[in-house]
Amino acid sequence: MKVVALVSGGKDSCYAMMKSIHYGHQIVALANLLPADDAVDELDSYMYQTVGHQIIVSYAECMGLPLFRKRIRGSTRHQELGYRTTQGDEVEDMFILLREVKKQIPEVTAVSSGAIASDYQRLRVESVCSRLGLVSLAYLWKQDQSLLLQEMIANGILTVTVKVAAMGLDPAKHLGKEIAFLNDYLHKLKELYGINVCGEGGEYETLTLDCPLFINARIVLDDYQVVMHSSDSIAPVGILHPLKFHLEKKVDVQSSTSPDNISETSIQKLGTVIEVEDTLERCEDTCKPSDCSADPIDDLAHKFNISRTNNKRTLTLSCSLQDSCNGGLHYFPLLFSDYFSASLYLCIVSFLDIDLSYLLRADLREDLKNVLAKIESLLAGFGFGWENVLYIHLYIDDMNKFSEANETYVKFITQERCPFGVPSRSTVEMPLVEMGFSKAYMEVLVSNNKDKRVLHVQSISSWAPSCIGPYSQVNQTSCHVFCFLSHCENWLGPQLRAIYSMQC
């Protein structure tokens, strides 16, 4: 994939680029966010490292790549872990920046970032990528920090500290020092105080002056000033303010950004710095959710059936939609009505016994839209919403239409509607039409518990299979764990249902 790399100047974002190339991707552009005021070194930001931003402008020349930069106008407004589009939030600056990159270099399909342990940062990068149709690459995610630091040093990343803020780190002694020099000392501090050796807890920040991707030049820091933010006797905080630097040209190095490897658009921008300006669009307008109201189903009648087990608190929903021209009502079998606890319900929706004329004029998108709208209506009738859904079985008639199904699915089931995380999902191909169904069939497991915990990692990483789509790896509630299953092309029947729920 063609990749735009989010760069802060730190060692992590640089090594993330190297890992992306290692896995076969191509870096075609850089993207950086900096303070609105050049005189400011550091912002009170949960998202961005800005110390050393005065030097990042040189990365374009060092790497021979276009560098897109945008000044940060927003602040931290949405502080919950899961991000929702929020006007004036600093995340919207990243959205505008990456949107401009995609506009000017349309072949960009992925974004690399150096997130290692912060869910807060990863989820926000994934949110922006999802809105722009980009893939998040996070190859450092959840990797062992000691091993990562050793790899960075061994792979030729020359980086110095530009901020220290931890017990045992003294601004007067440790600012401006190479990480290779501090490696043993950082591990000693880990043993003494439990610090993160890669600085993931804010213990320190770095600025990369050279690495194998700097094919044209390395940065030489000639002079700097130590600025104290806190003189606390236990954990003083200080930053390095660059005063003077220059580029030292490299020779006899073959460029990895030769014209054979990049597009005409990128060639025109090689080594240039593009300032991205704010637009007049509000963030609600740039990410306005699609209309998810279903078309009226004028020629279909529906009815839903409520069943209770011996435990009067257990409720199972069953619904079918039928062609009004056909006689009789059809109900689906009630599944798991005795298995799950009183807080778990099952809702099943599909069209049944649809006549041929309807099948000929309907497509998967239309059928799935109607099914999702009906489920949404049923949930609302019992005081539920998509946020209460734990797991979804989605059956479609043709797996080649998987992307079409997702396009419709995400109009209903979104991060905004599921603040605790989207449901896990399996997608299975079935001969639905031959069986007398419409082209979409869904089983939805619902819980009224408030303790739902969700693991949803959309980034491609070395840690876990990614769920790039609108479904999570794991949903957990009470004593049940519901796991993601990749889409299947065969009907697996009861075996599929038997493996997705595990009791604690």
Q: What is the 3-state secondary structure (H, E, C) of 53-86?
A: HHHHCCHHHHHCCCEEEEEECCECCCCCCCCCCC
Supply the pTM of this predicted model.
Answer: 0.70
CB count within 10 Å of CB 450 equals 9
Give the CB-side neighbour count of residue 475, counting CA atoms within 13 A.
29
32 burial (CB, 10 Å; 0-12 / 13-18 / 19+) is: buried
Task: Tell me how far apart the alpha carbons of residues 448 and 317 are, in angstroms, rounded to a whole number.
Answer: 14
**Mean pLDDT (whole number) for 435-459:** 75
Question: Residue 58 phi/psi, 5° resolution?
Answer: -75, -15
Query: pLDDT tens for residues 214-229?
Result: 999 999 999 999 999 9
Task: Tell me how far apart the alpha carbons of residues 96 and 212 are, in angstroms, rounded to a whole number.
Answer: 29
- Residue that wins the pLDDT comparison between 444 and 104: 104
Number of residues in the chain: 504
Indicate the Cα dihedral angle 243, 201, 36, 224, nearest 10°: 0
Query: pLDDT tens for residues 467-492?
Result: 666 767 666 666 555 555 444 333 33
Q: Is the dihedral of CA 69, 200, 188, 156 positive or negative?
A: negative
The predicted pLDDT at position 321 comes to 34
Task: Tell me how far apart the alpha carbons of residues 440 and 412 are, in angstroms, rounded to a whole number.
Answer: 15
Closest CA to 320 of 280, 375, 276: 375
Give the β-pairing of 2-6 and 26-35.
Answer: parallel
Query: pLDDT tens for residues 217-271?
Result: 999 999 999 999 999 989 999 999 999 999 999 986 554 444 444 445 555 567 7
Residue 192 confidence (pLDDT) above 90 = yes
Please list, residue by residue across 198-212, b when 16 or more beta carbons sit within 10 angstroms of its beta carbon and e when fewer do: bbbeebbbbbbbbbe
Band the pLDDT of 371: cuts 50, 70, 90: confident
Please list, residue by residue across 335-374, b when 16 or more beta carbons sit within 10 angstroms of its beta carbon and e when fewer do: bebeebeebbbbbbbbbbbbeeebbeebebbbbbbbbbbb
Band the pLDDT of 28: cuts 50, 70, 90: very high
- Percentage of the chain with pLDDT > 90? 46
Task: Tell me how far apart the alpha carbons of residues 208 and 155 are, in angstroms, rounded to a whole number.
Answer: 13
The predicted pLDDT at position 375 comes to 84
Give the β-pairing of 437-447 and 344-352.
Answer: antiparallel
Task: Tell me how far apart the alpha carbons of residues 226 and 160 are, in angstroms, rounded to a whole number.
Answer: 13
Task: Tell me how far apart the alpha carbons of residues 23 and 25 are, in angstroms, rounded to a whole number.
Answer: 6
Closest CA to 343 of 284, 402, 384: 384
The predicted pLDDT at position 501 comes to 38
Q: Is the dihedral of CA 471, 474, 476, 479 positive or negative?
A: positive
Closest CA to 422 of 390, 385, 382, 376: 390
> How many Å from the N-terminal Cα to the C-terminal Cα in the chain?
40
